[in-house]
Amino acid sequence: MAVGSAARRRRPGPVPDVAEFAPTSSRRVDQPLAFRPAPGWLPPGHRVYAVGDVHGCAAPLAAMLNTIAKDLAARPAARAELVLLGDYIDFGPDSAGVLTRLAGGAPLPGAALTALRGDHEQMLLDALAGDKPAATDWLAAGGGASLASWGIPREAPRTTWEATLPAAHLAFLRRLKLSHRAGGYLFVHAGLRPGVALARQRREDVLAIRHPFLSEPAEFGVTVVHGHSVARAVAVEPGRIGLDTGAGLGGALSCAVLEDDLIACMTVPTDEGALR
């Protein structure tokens, strides 16, 4: 399967509260998770915590991971996974802090980590490899905030970026996967192209597609769990679950809790980040 293989840095605000998103209401996480039927399935005893686009929001990510850890401690699973859907960097104030947390090993004790690549990571990697248009695109897509978090002036020559980035951050970015399969779910950053077999999906689509993936329902034989396309709430539809709810852009960081044939969702509000 092809998809398998100089702004001032702002101080992050206080760690926000975490709320649970339900179809008709939002609740505090000291209440039970509100599960409902999911469009996919996992084998018995297998649980996946899938987290949408983070975009430089280190404090909300810390709050989300803390809440997930509490849920896992209260409701142990025979097999637990943390799947991150990509776009860890850009827009928000602390991309460096996000990568430091994720590159350190196991951000969620007791759960296997799968970190996927997003289009923002791909743009940065392409820029570091010498692609000048990619560098321009990346800066236009929020990359200036990431440079600031690393202490790099926006006007610094592209050729100097790599030498300044922490080696652990670069190693993390370069080992990101394009997809992950668990039960009846396929996790990717952006989506899939309708009418194309899974084994023939192009990297460009997996990382950056919006339409026709969002506008033309298609049968892929899996439920696609993705980020990339911002919505005000988690999208749970036949064939897909969308988890980009605008972190770093004044929206929220969202997580889907998947087990058996059920789903519950948690969100962390953020007011961090602005288009730049």
DSSP-derived secondary structure for 209-273: --TTTTTS----SSEEEE-SS--SS-EEETTEEE-EEBTTTTSEEEEEEEETTEEEEEEEE----
**Residue 250: what are its φ and ψ, rounded to 5°?**
90, 5
CA–CA separation, 108 vs 11, rounded Å? 24
Q: How far apart are CA 94 and CA 60, in angstroms?
A: 11
Count the alpha carbons within 13 Å of 261 in the hemisphere toward its beta carbon: 3
Please tell me whether the overall predicted TM-score, pTM, comes out greater than 0.75 for this model. yes
- Residue 100: count of CB within 10 angstroms of its CB: 16
Architecture of domain 33-116+178-269: 4-Layer Sandwich (3.60)
Residue 179 forms beta bridges with which residues?
Answer: 188
- Quick: pLDDT tens for 1-24: 555 432 222 333 333 445 544 333
Residue 246 β-bridge partners: 252
Q: Which two tokens stand for residue 21?
A: 């998103």
Q: With residue 169 as reference, give the H or E element that holds it.
A: helix 167-174
Tens place of pLDDT per residue across the chain (276 aa): 555 432 222 333 333 445 544 333 333 344 579 999 999 999 999 999 999 999 999 999 999 999 999 999 999 999 999 999 999 999 999 999 999 999 988 899 999 999 999 999 999 999 999 999 999 999 999 999 999 999 999 999 999 999 999 999 999 999 999 999 999 999 999 999 999 999 999 999 999 999 999 999 889 999 999 999 999 999 999 999 999 999 999 999 999 999 999 999 999 998 754 432
181-219, pLDDT tens digit by residue? Answer: 999 999 999 999 999 999 999 999 999 999 999 999 889
* Backbone dihedral angles phi then psi of residue 81, each to the nearest 5 degrees: -130, 145
140, 89, 147, 94: CA torsion to nearest 10:
130
| Distance between CA atoms of residues 247 and 274, nearest Å | 10
- The number of angstroms, rounded, from the C-alpha of 85 to the middle of its chain's C-alpha atoms is 3
